[in-house]
Amino acid sequence: MTITLILVALAFVALGFSVRLTKGRALTAEVLENPTDHIRAVDLEAFQNLVDPGEEEYLRVNLPPAQFRRIQRERLRAAVEYVSCAAQNAAILLRLADAGRRSPDPATAEAAEKLVNNAIRLRLYAIQAIPRLYLGMILPGARISPVRIAESYEQMTRLVVLLGCLQYPTRGVSAAL
């Protein structure tokens, strides 16, 4: 009975996060006019360290169980914050790139199209990763691996740089990422 209640509660939490990430926050005109003011930096190396199975195993072996669980929860909370920032950045870049798809320059339109696809993919990965990270907080022994988030974010960053090189007005966005 208790397990059923826990699973139902987890399902509602996952549904809530999915709806929140899917809808995204309303992007006002100000956000789209000054995206660098709203994009939050994401340290991919730190994120990868937080979700690295080898690092988790090292902590599991070298810490007492209670301390490992406490530290693992903190690490996963930080990972959730990184994923949330990456998803919000992707929403902003999605709107910027959407305008770039209509560019008369074929190279700019193609790079913008790739950025749109990558931003959508990153947001979908975030929808999958956040409930897993929360599950990892509840069950510290559960294996989670949101590595695709880091890979997708890196690719999205490269596409923003490419758009900047193509003279598309990304307004310093690549530096903010």
Per the structure, how many domains does the chain have?
1
- pLDDT surpassing 70 at residue 115: yes
Q: What pLDDT is attached to residue 45? A: 85
Chain-centre distance of CA 175, in angstroms?
A: 18
* Terminal-residue alpha carbon distance, the chain: 46
Residue written as token pair 């988790």: 56
Total-model pTM: 0.71
pLDDT tens digits along 13-52: 877 766 665 555 555 566 666 777 778 888 888 888 888 8
Q: In Å, what is the CA distance from 153 to each residue of 34, 48, 73, 113, 149? A: 20, 12, 23, 16, 6
**Digit-coded pLDDT (tens) for 40-91:** 888 888 888 888 888 888 999 999 999 999 999 999 999 999 889 888 888 8
What pLDDT does residue 173 have? Answer: 52
The answer on pLDDT for 137 being more than 80 is yes
Whether the predicted pLDDT of 170 surpasses 60: no
- At 78 the pLDDT is 93
pLDDT of residue 32: 61
The reported pLDDT for the residue numbered 67 is 94
Cα 117 to chain centroid distance, Å, stands at 14
Q: Which domain holds residue 13?
A: 2-176
Confidence at residue 71, expressed as pLDDT on a 0 to 100 scale: 92
